[in-house]
Amino acid sequence: MTSLLRSRETGIVIALVAVVAATTVANPSFLSGQGVHDLFLNASIIALLAAGQCLLVITRNIDLSVGSVMGLTAYMSGQMFLGNQGMPMILVILAGIGLGALCGAINGALVAIAKVPALVVTLGTLYVFRGLDYAWASATGVQQVNAYQMSPSFLEFGSGSVLGIPNLTLIAVVVVAVIAYALRNFSSGRELYAIGSNPDAARLAGIPTGRRVFTTFVISGGLVGLAGVLHAAYFGTINAAVGSGKELAVVAAVVVGGVAIFGGSGTVIGAALGALLLTTITSALPILGVPAFWQRAVDGAALLVAISLDRTVMVRLAARLQRERNRARA
């Protein structure tokens, strides 16, 4: 019980309940069946992106190109239906995951093999992948793909549900559950925490750090590709600007969810809850009468608060450990 009360996930749930309660008092329809359905739908895509980003942050890396990769895969999904509206949905999903994994492999190779800092690499590929997206749209002359040009079954899947639970939410829950299980029970998952805690010590312990980091980038890229396809299925209207600015929301969700920006600790469940919390706050602000220009500031403010909190905890923990060492020596 003590461990549960101290966990960051519990704090996120409490904050989520508080936000929902305050917003429901202001507008009771916020907690209606349709309102909850839309809230989970909007949070599901961010949760998928946050799940992949969580793996990277645990290893003391980051991917700032997620928004551009998501836009590229979403646009590709629309383009595939232009050639054949009867294109099987599974092929579109696999193509999106494959393209996302390829982008992740490019980032991973530059980080793990070329030893370029992830921040520098992904800041560069953020613009490269976005540029490819715009170049593709310009070359084909199709600036926007509309819903009527896509497969009806594809769009129905994006907005559909099972027993009242949106399909996108079910996919996000399954992905988060699989990653959480792998991080907790597989040796390769535990090794990610070791790499993030101390890369040099992990390397001396025989952990293939380069291979693990590369694989993590590929997995994260595949999840971003999946999120791009699901975005296309849900919204139905796609252009080359899809996903712009998503990187801030994703990193904020991960850090707010308790994943240390310095690596080595955190859970994917916390990252998913962070995505749900930030999505809920963004949806609640207009209802509470907050001007629209403040809505983008929420992610940045949450990121600053979470990083400051993590830094404070780390400093206090280091001081406590030092006092214990001093007592032991005395």
Question: Is residue 149 very low, low, confident or very high in pLDDT (cuts 50, 70, 90)?
Answer: confident
Residue 327: predicted pLDDT? 80
- For residues 185 and 20, give the distance between their C-alpha atoms in angstroms, rounded to a whole number: 34
pLDDT in tens, 65-94: 999 999 999 999 989 888 777 888 999 999
User: Measured over all CA atoms, what is the biggest interatomic distance in the chain, rounded to whole angstroms?
Assistant: 77
Q: List, in order, residues 6 or more apart from 109 with CB less than 8 Å away.
A: 214
The CATH fold assigned to 2-329 is ABC transporter involved in vitamin B12 uptake, BtuC (1.10.3470)
- For residues 223 and 316, give the distance between their C-alpha atoms in angstroms, rounded to a whole number: 35
Residue 323: predicted pLDDT? 79
Find which of 165-174, 238-247, 258-267, 301-310 is predicted with most confidence, using mean pLDDT. 165-174
- Name the residue with higher pLDDT: 185 or 264: 185
SS (H, E, C) 85-139: CCCCHHHHHHHHHHHHHHHHHHHHHHHHHCCCCHHHHHHHHHHHHHHHHHHHHHH
- For residues 7 and 167, give the distance between their C-alpha atoms in angstroms, rounded to a whole number: 29
pLDDT above 60 for 50: yes
- Name the residue with higher pLDDT: 299 or 16: 16
pTM, whole model, 2 decimals?
0.89
Question: Is residue 299 very low, low, confident or very high in pLDDT (cuts 50, 70, 90)?
Answer: low
> Domain boundaries in the chain?
2-329
Residue 1, burial from CB neighbour count under 10 angstroms (0-12, 13-18, 19+): exposed
Share of the chain above pLDDT 90, in %: 48
Question: Is residue 57 very low, low, confident or very high in pLDDT (cuts 50, 70, 90)?
Answer: very high
Question: Is residue 110 very low, low, confident or very high in pLDDT (cuts 50, 70, 90)?
Answer: very high
DSSP 150: S
Residue 147: predicted pLDDT? 85
The 10 Å CB-count burial string (b at 16+, else e) for 264-298 is bbbbbbbbbbbbbbbbbbbbbbeeeeeeeeeeeeb
pLDDT in tens, 188-232: 999 999 999 998 899 999 999 999 999 999 999 999 999 999 999
